[in-house]
Homo-oligomer: A and B are copies of this chain.
């Protein structure tokens, strides 16, 4: 058995970012750029009015009281013929300022008499209300750096500079195999000795939080069947998650069958509760996790080990989990010399460990907003002691 820290270090060393892939910008939300992105065009691509008003040449205005209004430029169109001296053009927000004009006056600051334009804007300067060509970015300029995580604004920014596809670290392809002879699906009648299967529900939901859809299969506690399902799970996946069958009982076939499938063990069994029997392995660049079958163990191991590994595959340092320190709201005595991950509820000020910590129970997890991590050695904690909090919701 290894410690939690050793296990996390092994995973941190082994998990490598996935091979970058070029994907449509619409599918890149939350993913990390695998190369620098450069502007495909000048933005704006022309001198652009930022107002509804009138475009004119500033020098013309200095020499005269009134300008003659000739022509209209709506957004998306442009004037075909050049504007003559002392002429102004009706223009709208986003429209191209005709090439020999340089300034726009807001429509609220003019008098229009027939075709005559009288400008009443003492503060207006040359170039006013005009967004110069390339003022957001010039063609070929660096728009976003490799390593940028794409937010909605970043996605919009890239669209606006003409980018259609981006090279990113893709979402991992996740397969999830649920093992256990005792499992029935919610909604089915429950035979004596059966329990409702919940791990596929909880793990899928947690993966959804990361924008990942898992492919789910089921297997009985039977070596032959398990091997077929595991081999299938290892096809076209970046990460394979298995629940159950990973302890040392006579029907715990997962670790041995994974070895038969060519999966190299990284570790098996960790000095922690819940989730002591956790198995991690790899086959080439594929990561494999054998999660203990108890619902609370599965979800704890998912948050503590699988989520950081998924983040590494996606080459991101951010996570659905936030880590902080908070004072305990009460004293607490651990039952053992293992690292404990305890369902808890925290406010900004303090954290309270909940009842119902047993690994087969999810009732406390269902209302928890964090896990408290208490290290191996310390047994007794006092009210006010600072503890490690992993925010999960």
Contact = CB atoms under 8 A, between A and B. Distances in A.
A215 interface: no
Interface string A188-215: 0010111111111111111011010000
A209 B208 CA distance: 11
A162 interface: yes
A46 B193 contact: yes
A14 interface: no
Nearest to A208: B29
A362 B293 CA distance: 47
A202 B159 contact: yes
Interface in A126-145: 131, 136-137, 143-144
A249 B148 contact: no
Given A45-B195, A78-B192, A157 B363 contact: yes
B205 A156 contact: yes
A153 B41 contact: no
A205 B152 contact: yes
B221 A362 contact: no
Contacts of A192: 45-46, 78, 96
A73 B50 CA distance: 77
Contact of A199 (B156, B158, B186, B209): B156
Interface in A83-142: 92-96, 107, 131, 136-137
A95 to B, nearest CB: 7
Given A76-B180, A78-B193, A153 B202 contact: yes
B360 A156 contact: no
Nearest to A194: B76
Contacts of A180: 75-76, 94
Contacts of A356: 136
Interface in A1-50: 25-26, 29-30, 41, 43-46, 48, 50
Contact of A363 (B73, B136, B208): B136
Contacts of A368: 153
Contacts of A165: 187
A392 interface: yes
B157 A366 contact: yes
A163 interface: yes
Contact of A25 (B43, B201, B250, B365): B201
A383 interface: no
A152 B78 contact: no
A206 B29 CA distance: 8
A265 to B, nearest CB: 21
A164 interface: yes
B248 A52 contact: yes
B190 A162 contact: yes
A73 B194 CA distance: 12
A259 B257 CA distance: 67
Contacts of A30: 208-209
B152 A75 contact: no
A198 B155 CA distance: 8
A313 interface: no
A392 B360 contact: no
Given A76-B183, A78-B192, A96-B193, 17 more contacts: A26-B201, A26-B205, A29-B209, A77-B182, A93-B293, A94-B195, A95-B182, A107-B249, A136-B362, A143-B366, A152-B206, A153-B368, A156-B205, A156-B295, A157-B362, A159-B196, A162-B186
In the A-B complex, the 8 residue pairs with the closest CB atoms: A156-B202, A76-B182, A76-B181, A164-B187, A153-B365, A160-B198, A159-B198, A157-B362
